[in-house]
Structure 1
Amino acid sequence: MVRRERRSVTLLGASGSVGRATVDLIERGGADYKVEAVVGGRDAAALAEIAVRLGASLAVVADERQGGALARALEGSGVASAAGPSAAIDAASRPVDWTMAAISGAAGLAPTIAAVRRGGTIALATKECLVCAGAAFMREVERAGATLLPVDSEHNALLQALGGQSLDTVETMTLTASGGPFRTWPAEAIAAARPQEALKHPTWSMGAKITIDSATLMNKGLELIEAHYLFGIGSDRLEVVVHPQSIIHGLVTFRDGAVTAGLAAQDMRVPIAHALGYPERISTPAARLDLGRIGTLTFEAPDLTRFPALRLAREALEAGGGAATILNAANEVAVAAFLDGRIGFSAIAGVVEDALSDADAATLRNAPQTVEEALELDALSRRLADSSLPEAALQAH
């Protein structure tokens, strides 16, 4: 077999769950990859370990307070270190063939856009880039001639199920949702849920923020918005179905009635490998599906009464303008408050709805024209959401 050309890579969000899965694949690929930079949030020890294991040229911790700890951990390793948001952007700007963009939340937007602007292939796991600044972000991708590959298992499944067909042949695209830990819970029990209960995802092992988003179904709402921009498809052709087994990740229904589906085990190394090897296929250690053993796959419609976050996200998508940016910012504030014990679970959607209701008409009507404008609106929306937390907390308890 002919060995393909060595690929230079940078990992943004290297110490998170997606980052670690990517590290595993790169280590297995050995000489196929040269790691230029790894960027993490605040865990200097974990980031240093990854940098040394991968032989990275540079390690950057976004939290400036952890810069000294990172430098000490890397002393004598030959890996350079830096700290702070600007250093993360500089690292993302280094010329490489392939970048994993997996910094969670709106904090990932600036480094990811820096990677986009210098071109190459961007494996996108930070859905907030498209939720916060969808149209502006996609314009930057087009302007730079970058290749954007989705790493969320649902969008990656849709890309593969589409099979290169024109969007004109597509009737609908369907994202699947596990339903989260509260899928069968009554509304009263959901309202009283504690963080430790919300963090017990039934099928996936993920970071805290995305796990809470899965419990509220906001994650699926954000994915609807992401799919709209990734594939250029309207809300009226995007559907969500709850599929507790998490075996089918996305389905494409064509205008002739044929349906193709992307199936895989619950292992993020599958979609990451698709992006890492693209356009070729690379091997992964992910479990292979045994449908005879699985036996039954079930589906149900999402309950928008018990899980209003999904409704709010679709309404934001259909409203356009700055609504999705506000939705995402308010949700990040509310999830952090819930994890800190400051508000109850049901108040998460309430904080988001209040932020959308309180935004002025012009802000809702006008979409950010640049990534910088999106970041300004994100900051403003966070302040609005944060100011509503005391009232939300009283309502929740």
Structure 2
Amino acid sequence: MDGMAGQKSSLTWAVNIAALLLVVLWTIPTAGLLVSSFRDRDQISTTGWWKSMTSQEQSSFVRTGAAEDQVQDGDLYVLEGDLVGEGQSLSAWGTSARDPGAFAPGESTDVDGATLTVTEDGQYRMESTAPFEMRRGERIFVITESPPSFTTENYSRVLNAQGIGRAFMNTMTVTIPATVIPILIAAFAAYALAWMEFPGRALLTAAVVGLLVVPLQVALIPLLRLHNEIGIGKGYLGIWLAHTGFGLPLAIYLLRNYMVGLPREVIESARVDGATEFQIFRKIILPLSFPALASFAIFQFLWVWNDLLVATVFLGNTRDELVMTGVLRELMGSRGGDWEILATSAFISIAVPLLVFFAMQKYLVRGLLAGSVKGG
């Protein structure tokens, strides 16, 4: 029978397909962001990233020379020039916006008594038996194709931006302590809530769970005012404490649920042998709880590294105080005018978090699952 011990469930294939679909759904946007980071502004604005490996078709118009640009060739008055840019090829052209691709390269048409010819290489020749008197050139609509192209200019622009190195060091200075401090505090608190008997333990556990749903935005201004009143102000100490406070509820909840599921016999045996609570915590609980500690470390590191709001409130906006997200925001401009570097900035900013995640991912699922199914 299906579902019995030692037998493979018939739904295994469905689970595998669902997992594969989830991986694909998460991977496709990331791949698109990576491709877009190597494209220029014009390519991003005209076509999607999925068309980056094909020739790009673009419609535009170019004006011919005016009357002062004409030259006389025998009995004819001639205007000549180029309609396409470097690396582009002409696929069609026209003289009306309603039908910009009316003519194929090499064909001719009459324009106000003159003969207009556009060749395959994008060169136009407009000739007339009477002198041209127009002050502005005639509009010629062209449909061009550009081969696939990629550039590292966006990466060069971001990596060479003024203050990016300083911002990287600021981000590391904020992130590492803001990850380590809450882990240390939460580990002690989680052990107390999981294995030590004292009055009000259930109420404290309920309070921790309740704090998980409190949005940090409501605490930003009161907390900043408190920092100013006690003399901390804006600085690294203030932002470390802020991130610690915002991260502690999740850390305590996650670690407490994990520690509750550890073997009671091991802990009781240590107590019988005369071990103190601190020795039990340091020599037994911490080594066994490493998967949960690593899980929270990944979450906290990602959150602090990608943070902009808390850093802006508790650290400041001067050039020497900006973190990575702040510098990247400045690069895009106050109105987002330089949005083409957004994809590039995203990949540069997630480089370090990705290294942390892949280095500790084997502990992530173990820590989360153990904390979710075991509790008491």
Give TM-score, length-normalised by structure 1.
0.22
Larger Rg: 2
Give TM-score, length-normalised by structure 2.
0.22
Query: 1 or 2, which has the higher helix percentage?
Result: 2
Identify the structure with bigger relative contact order (alpha carbons < 8 Å, sequence gap 6+): 2
